[in-house]
Amino acid sequence: MEWNASVAKDYLSLFAEISIATVALSGIIMVLAVSGKKLPAERVAQIATQLRIALIVTVMSLLPLLLINFQLEPSLIWRVVSGIYIGIMIYVGVSTSLGRATYAQSLPAKTQNALQLMGGCALVLMGLNLWLAVPWPYLLQLMIALIVSMGLFVDFIYKILIENTEDAR
């Protein structure tokens, strides 16, 4: 399969749509879950992480589409967005590690491991794409981030349902 601009645009649009949908659903579920009670710190950190990842995927899916409209060289677009993605991952990693005492301790170990794996994949794939300047590493990384975001989302819903069931008893 050859990665032309049309295929890349389709995937980027799809990733942005899915990310926006999970952000909206997370907001709705968060409001319904809170309804008169306080959520544990783990749930708040989990949904905040999911929202952060989904918003990054949304922005990073839309950015190449915006740059394509400026009729830049495709290789330049993939290098620029890959460099920006690296910058975002470094910022998120540093800000999370600085707030580790409160934020990261609220996340379960499996979530922390998944996020570290995603961050490592992002740095490797985007670093590779600074050299290759093609769509597939970028799209692969967005898909990985989207899968992690969806996993956090489903886990959040599951835990909220379990907690609500236990409260009803």
Residue 169 lies in a domain: no
Q: How far apart are CA 134 and CA 111, in angstroms?
A: 30
Q: How far is CA 16 from the centre of its chain?
A: 10
Range of the domain at 66: 5-162
pLDDT of 121 reads 85
Residue 81 pLDDT grade (very low, low, confident, very high; cuts 50, 70, 90): very high
Please provide the average confidence, as pLDDT, over all residues in the chain.
Answer: 84
- Split into its structural domains, the chain has a count of 1
Q: How far apart are CA 13 and CA 17, in angstroms?
A: 6
Residue 106 lies in a domain: yes
- At 138-166, the pLDDT tens digits run 999 999 999 988 988 888 888 877 776 76
Residue 58 lies in a domain: yes
